[in-house]
Amino acid sequence: MGPIHSPLKVKKDAKIGVLCGGMSSEREVSLRSGRNCFEALKRLGYINACIIDVDRNIANKLLEEKIEVAFITLHGKYGEDGCIQGLLEVIGIPYTGCGVKASAVCMDKEFTKRIMKTHSIPVIDSILITSPDQLADKKADLEFPLMVKPVSEGSSIGMARVQNLQELEQAVKHAVKYDARIMLEKFLEGKSVTIGVLDVDGKPMATPILELRSKTGWYDFEAKYTAGLTDFILPAEIDEAMTKYTQGLAVKAHKAVEARGMSRVDFIVTENEAYLLEINTIPGMTDLSDLPAQAKAMGIEYDRLVEIILNSAF
């Protein structure tokens, strides 16, 4: 692949606030992403970049620091779900990544599935419950094994794979600590893969496919953030036809939710199909994160990736 260009839009002396930390269960991951991006901005010559730990006083912090551009590295609630994006819109500060609508939709796995279905993008069959008491009414519709997922959480937090009704009941009790709405999704055997989508020169481009082979049984929080617990196969060991097909689905999904800047789309790939699991609008930027590795495989080093994301603010 040849060199990737995009016009420089943010001045080197702009006051850039790297928003990280936050109030979600993914706070520690966000702090790591934020630190990495801040250091990259400094290496790139953005001399006035600073780190801002997001809390309920964030509006005042942004105004006091006279932030001109917000580089969002928040994950989870209040940061990836449209909340911080809406606040920045009101204040009038340009920000990186997706807007309010795409952020809110993609944070909600159930709404994401609804939109994917309207665009003929395959998703896995699931049932939505809003209380553990509803399990009794759903027994006849359940087929084990199942994945239990809080609808609006990331990094596999609150998720579990269950083999029977007893495990399901315990998993749901745990999951409701993170979200009142719980998705019960059929577990499919297949390759766990992820594809980045980057808007470069106004055109969404799919990265090479990254295959994730977890040593914990499935790609859970521990496997995601503990070195050595996941084998990263890049490019994924998938035939050329399926590779192009799945990359096409990723770009189609990115466009369907009107994402901008970047996204990371997760799939389960079986022998004959690729099923979309979710769309991440603020992918992790830690040392173990997927998007930086995928970008590097297409010739984009970490600092260049940070600058591409930065320019998505305009």
Q: Active-site residues: which are they?
A: 26, 155, 225, 264, 266, 278, 280, 284
Residue 164 DSSP code: S
Q: Which of 133, 127, 160 is nearest to 145 (CA)?
A: 160
Residue 130 and residue 137 in contact, taking contact as beta carbons nearer than 8 Å: no
Distance CA 197, CA 300 (A): 13
**Count of beta carbons in the 10 Å neighbourhood of residue 235:** 14
Structure tokens at 168: 């399901």
Distance CA 238, CA 300 (A): 22
* CA angle (155 as vertex; 151, 156 as ends), nearest 5: 60
Residue 141 DSSP code: G
Burial of 115-124, coded b for 16+ CB within 10 Å and e otherwise, reads: bbeeeebebb
Structure tokens at 72: 């969002």
